[in-house]
Chain A
Amino acid sequence: MTTETTPIRGMGHSVKRKEDPRFLRGKGRYVDDIKLPGMLYMDIVRSPYAHANITRIDASKALALPGVLAVITGKDLDEAGLAWMPTLMGDKQMVLPVDRVVYQAQEVAAVIATERYIAADAITLIEVEYEPLPPVMDPFKALEADSPLVRPDREQKTNHIWHWEAGDAAQTDAIFQQAEVVVKQDLYIPRIHVSSIETCGCVASFDSVEGKLTVYMTTQAPHAIRTVFSLVTGIAEHKIRIVSPDIGGGFGGKVPVYPGYVIASVASLKTGHPVKWIEDRSENLQADSFARDYHISAELAATKDGAMQALRVKTLADHGAFDAAANPSKFPAGLFSVITGSYTLKAAHVEVDGVYTNKPSGGVAYRCSFRVTEAVHTIERMVDTLAQQLGLDPADVRMKNFIQPEAFPYTSPTGWEYDSGNYPAALRKAMEKIDYAGLRQEQAEKRARGELMGIGISTFTEIVGAGPSHTFDILGIKMFDSCEIRVHPTGSVIARIGVQSQGQGHETTFAQIVAEELGLPVENITVEHGDTDTAPYGLGTYASRSTPTAGAATAVAARKIREKARKIAAHLLEANVDDLEWQDYKFQVKGSPGRSVGMKEIAFAAYTNFPSDVEAGLEAVDYYDPPNLTFPFGAYICVVDIDRGTGQVKIRRFVAVDDCGNIINPMIVDGQIHGGLTMGMAPALMEAITYDENGNMQQGTFMEYLLPTAMETPVWETDKTITPSPHHPFGAKGVGESATVGAPPAIANAVVDALSHLGVTHIDIPITPWKVYAILEAHGVAEL
């Protein structure tokens, strides 16, 4: 009946991206590209101090400048009850301060003007008088009794925010008391910044006739933002439309609600004009939320022959002035408790204490699923530390302690149920690909000649795809996700999803899911997202959750359509519904492959020739609540050479074997891994945000905050093993962040390995040339 020849190109095809033609022509629509009639521009006055009282703000000179329409201060917002807003973690944060600033570059006042340059001129005319207060910069000192308070607005008169723990303390302590071997290591995972190449910004447009606020903004989670906006402003939710246009990279930094979005919205309400606010890079680097900043103290108990038994971890988490992390509500330290990694341990106990300091908010992701990078760095460094202390090969120690493939589903000592894995297979594949034995031999020869070469391994387990909803919510909104599919009469499709791409290629991969499930060509499927007026409600894209949640919803919605299509097919084929099978992308009568009908014909019949007991149309929606998270994993091996004259670490080879279950688009998965590895290398070797004792942030531009260029970035070598998720509708796991999570310890382990014969046991990241050179000098092996 059907002569369909256009290929379907569903699962497993490297389909070229549907979003590329507009980007390649310079026709992307990013937020700063939006220009509305009558649009005004906003610029922001920021605090030069990390901690100070504001004694006076005089805007008269700014207001006298032609083109300036308004100046908004904390006092103005306070009158409307908007000087503070809730954070995603149950804390509150200032939109604009009324009388006190708590970090450098904090928003102090906003100018609204007819032109971008006039707004920039006007902020220099606003006079702000400050009375500096001693800044709290060291999280350890912040907990001392005589420390100044960062947040005197709170009832609790301490800088301690919360204590959180997981695992069994008594059982863990008991194992440590009996242990043959205990290794200890302090690790600092520095504060870093996602630095997507597009900064944050918005165009807020209030229609006073309709009473409707539309905000085009750089957000990874438009629906949740709409709800938060409604709760904060009191505007009815159907009168708020959040549009997330093309996003120039997110990586977690575009999850939080920044004050600028709120102030621009207030400014649009106040002036009756659309208001554009775009951060410059310096503002973005200094004031937007940060990742990491974990001070970790770890201990690993083991037997003399290297069998790992228990892990004990204490952590101080520097959250800055507001607890505005972007974690699920019940997890103030994210999923850090996945810290037992890929290894069988009898017990573990993990503690984290959150601390306020006079820094911008911490705790957003940096391409990482809720604190997993910190956990993976710790366990992977500890395995190497153990191997080094016992004189064992780190690959052997891993093989000895891996959770075995037959042990899945595996419940970890901190309570996570790993869905599937085959860790030995991944490590074996990586070792073969890189010729591990050959490298060890080469290293021995080089070491004999005084050359410094190191080999580092990381065999990480990720935890991604939040929900399930019984455990995961954000501000009470359960972490499901959604898809709505409509099949048009001629067999083309529109699918709308609750997640939001920032470069992941959802317009392509989600079309492939629909193509696979419905048997319609990928070319004929449009995927839309990011507009809260049209897309179904979802929690957004971060923490590698899109494919595990909305991807699953897409498959399930398509399968709902297929079930209806079966009835229409039976009608068309004059067969019994039960006699039909879905085979080769069409319904056919069992045993009579000649009698078949494809989805294109069924779609037309759904509007023109449907049976009397079936509704017209062919569409479905699904809100998918995953039964569990997915646990992608990988085995990474890194080879470094160290220049004894400069201390520079050069990554000579890096083999990444990833397992993310079944793959939708291999080309896109490899692209995600290449990017993730680069964002893993960045904090391992280059990136860190630091402050001086006065609270001055020291990396305010890309001149100081060093992102990897093509010169530092090696040629990444990727490969795969495939262990499907048993609970995901098409066996996929998330993948966007695996490499960022897995790469840093492979690199750090390689550098320590290169220097281990000198007695070096640990180096905190970023492992910069000067840090390495100082070590070489101290051990008398530096070349002058």
Chain B
Amino acid sequence: MRRRPLVAPTPDLAAVVRVRLFAALRERAGWGERLIPLGASLTNAADLWRQLALDDSPAAGVGELPPSIRVAINQAFAAPDTPLRPGDEVAFLPPISGG
């Protein structure tokens, strides 16, 4: 099992993160996995959420990452403002319903 994403080690592709969506989020967005380049205005998961327009809420604060969505970086829970590094795997996790 690969715990780290596969990102080409060439300089122009190096500053990329792999974004993953699950369950209802994945269905709503219509995709489950994408490579997204990091940039000056895209440095953490909260930025990704806004720039990928993952929110569907018409309410106030539209576009912001809602507290019900948890973030995982490289398969461990992380704060949405954790700085991302090239090659990171960032996942947005809708409310969990296991067991």
Q: Are chains A and B native binding partners rather than an unrelated pairing?
A: no
Residues of B within 8 A of A (CB): none
